[in-house]
Amino acid sequence: EVQLLESGGGMVQPGGSLRLSCAASGFNFNGYAMSWVRQAPGKGLEWVSGISVSGDTTYYADSVKGRFTISRDNSKNTLNLQMNSLRAEDTALYYCAKAVFSTGLFDNWGQGTLVTVSS
Amino acid sequence: DIVMTQSPDSLAVSLGERATINCKSSQSVLYSSNNKNYLAWYQQKPGQPPKLLIYWASTRESGVPDRFSGSGSGTDFTLTVSSLQAEDVAVYYCQQYYTTPYTFGQGTKLEIK
């Protein structure tokens, strides 16, 4: 059974940083692209960032480009998201999502970790 | 960026009746080399992550009841629930995975009338 367990969320002041992690199990992690998708309270889904199988190619939404960095450690089955220069509009539940091979189609999602940016 | 627009924003349907949700993309998501539409539908129930229902515009994910069906091509797509059940109350999202940034529709809230 595929399991994705996010961690690292919390409350941070504007301008601060957080590092999210996603521990993956139940599948061959180094065979699939991964992404982060967020959902602001009461709002819809927004794709944030994606990373290729090997980790050598990364993609970002314009809203986070230059502030967020996605990475993966295939030896530890872990996906990460380093978030810097956080803004109030980054407040959201952040989901880790497993892609169908190297596509942007997401067949498994974690339960999410909540990030709150507030002074 | 490809903008995904769903209609309606909310929908109330009687149990056992048909529910139809539309999704329009600002540009075609049909990849000519394989003739596949890079369009998915997700269901999200309160307090839960999204669940993949339909991909390639019309292929049901394993385990999804056959009352859910997807259709359409190019820029216009439809999700149909043929006979609404109580457990289908949720928000439904379409998503294009044709190109980054991957984008979702704003969501359609499906309720029981």
State how far Cα A55 lies from the chain centre: 14
Interface membership of A47 toward B (CB under 8 Å): yes
A61 vs A74: CA distance, rounded Å? 23
Interface membership of A73 toward B (CB under 8 Å): no
Residue A76 has pLDDT above 90, yes or no: yes
Tell me the mean pLDDT in the region A44-64.
97
Query: Residue B105 corresponds to which amino acid?
Result: G
Please judge whether B95 and A45 are an interchain contact, meaning their C-beta atoms are less than 8 angstroms apart. yes
Chain B partners within 8 Å of A100 (Cβ): 55
Interface membership of A44 toward B (CB under 8 Å): yes
Query: Residue A56 corresponds to which amino acid?
Result: D
Tell me the mean pLDDT in the region A48-58.
96
* pLDDT at residue B41, as a whole number: 98
Q: Which residues pair with B108 in a beta bridge?
A: B92
* pLDDT at residue A101, as a whole number: 80
* pLDDT at residue A103, as a whole number: 86
Tokens at A105, concatenated:
């189609």
- Report the DSSP pairing between strands A68-73 and A92-99: unpaired
Strands (E), chain B: 4-7, 10-13, 19-25, 30-31, 36-37, 39-44, 51-55, 59-60, 68-73, 76-81, 90-96, 103-104, 108-112
Phi-psi region of A53 (alpha: psi -120 to 50; beta: other; left: phi over 0): alpha
